C-alpha cells in the first residue's frame, strides 16, 4: 500500500528536504478509488495547514513503493460564478526516493486568467500497480489561498542626505492599498550598506506590515558619513515550499541571525517567494561644518587731537575700546554631496558668564561651494556695547543638524567706558598778572561707570590753548586711586611750566586721562590774566 504526504511547493521545482517531517496537521483528505484498499494520510504529520497561502498550485506526495502514471486536478472557487475547472492535466516530477511532485502547468495561470484568492483543489492520481502496491488510483483534496503577487510599496525618502541627529522619519514606507489580507507584508526590513567601509546597518525589522512605517537612521558611528546603499526588502505570507517556508519562519523570528542569502539572490527574492526589494542610494552626513583659517582681530579708528597712547592688555585677551571694531573671518567647509547648495546656520556667541550676559549674532548661509569664506565685522547696529569679559564661540549647524562648536582660546575683553572727569580746576578766574597764578591745578575724576575688572591706573595729560593755538599734550603722570572705586578722587598737577610771563588774556587748559583700554576723556578750565 502506498503512503502519501502532501506538501506545497514552488513553480521552480524546488522541494523540501526528504528527511524532514511535515510541520503541522491538515484536514486535507486523501481517498483511494473504489475497489481498492482504503487508506488515509496521517493527519498529525501533515503540511501545509488548511487554507495555507501558496504561491503556486503544487503538491508533493511520498509513495513507499510504486510509480505514478498520470495526474489531473479539479479547481474551483467557493465564490459563486467564479472559476470552476475540471480534469486539468497536471505535471508530474519524479523527485526520487519515492517523492513525486504534482503541479499546475506553467501556462495554466495566464491561460485561465487565474486570480489570487481561495480555492479548492482535488487531485486525481493514477498509479502503476505492482504486486507490492496494488494501488490503481487515488484522490486528494485540500483548500488553499493562492497569492502570486509580491507586495508593493510607496516609498518616500524625505531626506536623501541624512545624519544620525535628524535621521528620524527620513524614510516613509507605505504598502499599496489592497483588500486582500494576503497582501499584508509578513516581514519587512530596511538596512544600509556603507559604500566605503561595506559595513551593514539594520535600520528596521518588523512583522505584519499593513500600514505606513517610518524609518530613522542611527548607527552610533561617525565613520558612516558618505554614500550608502539603502535596501528595503519585504515578503508576504505566501508559502513557496516547505524548505523555504522554514527559512522564512526563522527570518521572521530572528532576522539578524537567519541567512537572508538563502532567500535572496542578488537583488531579487528566489522564485516562489512573493518578495520585493527596493534599492536607493542615499548620503549619510554625520560631519558638521568645519572652521579653518580663523582670524580674530580688531580695526582701530584713528582719533585726531588726542595724545598717543598704547592700550595695555594681556597675552590671553583681545581688548576692545570704544574706537575699536571687532573683526572675525574664517573659512567654512561643508560637503554638499549631491546637492546644489546646503544651508548652514551660523552663530557667533560672546558670553560674559560673570555677569550672565550673552550677545549672539545669527546668520543663515546658503553654501553653493564646499568651502566658502565668512567675515563678521561690528557695525553700529551690531556692536557689543556692554562692557565685560567674554568667551567667544562659533556655532554652526547644517541641515542634518550636525553641530560644530568652536571656542576661541582667548577672551574678548570689552571696555568701552572712558574715565569720568567731573571737572578741572586751576583755581584761577581772573588774575592781574602771571605771579598771581596758583602753582598747581586739580582734576576731579572716578571710574565708577566702569566694571571692576576694567578699572585701571589712568595715564593723564594736559595741554594749553592760548590765542587760538594749542600746545602739544604733556604727560602729568599716573593716577591710581580712582580704580579702587571711590566716588571721587582729585589728582593734582603742575602747569606753570606751560605758561609764559608774557601771557595775557584768556588761557584754556585741557586735562584728560586714558584708561588701560585707551579710552580717553578730557575737560577744560579757563582763566584770564591782566585787566
pLDDT of residue 127: 80
Among 180-194, 254-268, 374-388, the least confident range: 180-194
Distances from the Cα of 91 to the Cα of 8, 60, 95, angstroms: 14, 12, 12
Task: Give the C-alpha separation, 207 to 203, whole Å.
Answer: 14
d(CA 511, CA 523): 6
DSSP element (H, E) containing 209: strand 200-209
Using the structure block, give the residue that is written with the C-alpha cell 518588523. Answer: 206
**Which pLDDT tens digit goes with each residue over 398-425?**
988 889 999 999 999 999 999 999 999 9
Q: Sort strands 67-76 and 117-128 into parallel, antiparallel or unpaired.
A: antiparallel
Cell numbers for 330: 574664517
Is 222's pLDDT higher than 70? no
Residue 116, CB half-sphere, CA atoms under 13 Å: how many?
18
- In angstroms, the CA 299 to CA 302 distance is 10
Give 462: exposed, middle or buried? Use CB within 10 Å, 0-12, 13-18, 19+.
Answer: buried
Q: What is the CB neighbour count within 10 angstroms for residue 84?
A: 11
User: Cis bond leading into 156, ω under 30°?
Assistant: no
- In the predicted model, is pLDDT for residue 54 greater than 90? no
pTM of the prediction? Answer: 0.67
Tens-digit pLDDT profile for residues 377-404 = 998 888 899 999 999 999 999 988 889 9
Amino acid at each position: 500500500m502506498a503512503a502519501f504526504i502532501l506538501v506545497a511547493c514552488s513553480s521552480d521545482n524546488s522541494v523540501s528536504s526528504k528527511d524532514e517531517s511535515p510541520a503541522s496537521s491538515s484536514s486535507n483528505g486523501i481517498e483511494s478509488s473504489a475497489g481498492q484498499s482504503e487508506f488515509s494520510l496521517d493527519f498529525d504529520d501533515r503540511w501545509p495547514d488548511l487554507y495555507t497561502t501558496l504561491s503556486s498550485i503544487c503538491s508533493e506526495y511520498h509513495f513507499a513503493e510504486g510509480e505514478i502514471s498520470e495526474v489531473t486536478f479539479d479547481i474551483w472557487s467557493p465564490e459563486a460564478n467564479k472559476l470552476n475547472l475540471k480534469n486539468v492535466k497536471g505535471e508530474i516530477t519524479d523527485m526520487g526516493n519515492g517523492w513525486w511532485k504534482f503541479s499546475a502547468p506553467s501556462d495554466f495561470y495566464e491561460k485561465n486568467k487565474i486570480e489570487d484568492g481561495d480555492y479548492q483543489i482535488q487531485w486525481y492520481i493514477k498509479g502503476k500497480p505492482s504486486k507490492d502496491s496494488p494501488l490503481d488510483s487515488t484522490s486528494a483534496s485540500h483548500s488553499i489561498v493562492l497569492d502570486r503577487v509580491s507586495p508593493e510599496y510607496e516609498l518616500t525618502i524625505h531626506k536623501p542626505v541624512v545624519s544620525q541627529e535628524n535621521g528620524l522619519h527620513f524614510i516613509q514606507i507605505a504598502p499599496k492599498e489592497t483588500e486582500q489580507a494576503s497582501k499584508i507584508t509578513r516581514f519587512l526590513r530596511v538596512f544600509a550598506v556603507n559604500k566605503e567601509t561595506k559595513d551593514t546597518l539594520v535600520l528596521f525589522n518588523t512583522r505584519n506590515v499593513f500600514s505606513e512605517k517610518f524609518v530613522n537612521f542611527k548607527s552610533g558611528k561617525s565613520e558612516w558619513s558618505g554614500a550608502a546603499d539603502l535596501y528595503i526588502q519585504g515578503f508576504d505570507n505566501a508559502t513557496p515550499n516547505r524548505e523555504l517556508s522554514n527559512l522564512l519562519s526563522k527570518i521572521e523570528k530572528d532576522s539578524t541571525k537567519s541567512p537572508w542569502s538563502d532567500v535572496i539572490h542578488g537583488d531579487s527574492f528566489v522564485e516562489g517567494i512573493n518578495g520585493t526589494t527596493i534599492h536607493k542610494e542615499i548620503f549619510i552626513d554625520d560631519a558638521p561644518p568645519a572652521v579653518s583659517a580663523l582670524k580674530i582681530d580688531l580695526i582701530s579708528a584713528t582719533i585726531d587731537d588726542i595724545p598717543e597712547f598704547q592700550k595695555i592688555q594681556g597675552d590671553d585677551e583681545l581688548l576692545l575700546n570704544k574706537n575699536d571694531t571687532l573683526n572675525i573671518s574664517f573659512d567654512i567647509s561643508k560637503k554638499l554631496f549631491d546637492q546644489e547648495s546646503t544651508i548652514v546656520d551660523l552663530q557667533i556667541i560672546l558670553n560674559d558668564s560673570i555677569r550672565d550676559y550673552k550677545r549672539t549674532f545669527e546668520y543663515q548661509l546658503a553654501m553653493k561651494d564646499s568651502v566658502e569664506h565668512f567675515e563678521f565685522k561690528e557695525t553700529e547696529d551690531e556692536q557689543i556695547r556692554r562692557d565685560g569679559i567674554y568667551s567667544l564661540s562659533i556655532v554652526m549647524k547644517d541641515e542634518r543638524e550636525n553641530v560644530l562648536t568652536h571656542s576661541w582660546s582667548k577672551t574678548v575683553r570689552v571696555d568701552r567706558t572712558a574715565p569720568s572727569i567731573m571737572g578741572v580746576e586751576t583755581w584761577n578766574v581772573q588774575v592781574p598778572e602771571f605771579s598771581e597764578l596758583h602753582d598747581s591745578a586739580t582734576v576731579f575724576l572716578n571710574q565708577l561707570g566702569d566694571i571692576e575688572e576694567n578699572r585701571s591706573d589712568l595715564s593723564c595729560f594736559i595741554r594749553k590753548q592760548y590765542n587760538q593755538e594749542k600746545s602739544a599734550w604733556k604727560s602729568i603722570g599716573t593716577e591710581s586711586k580712582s580704580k579702587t572705586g571711590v566716588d571721587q578722587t582729585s589728582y593734582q598737577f603742575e602747569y606753570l611750566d606751560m605758561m609764559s610771563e608774557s601771557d595775557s588774556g584768556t588761557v584754556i587748559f585741557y586735562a584728560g586721562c586714558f584708561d588701560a583700554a585707551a579710552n580717553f576723556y578730557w575737560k577744560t578750565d579757563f582763566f584770564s590774566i591782566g585787566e
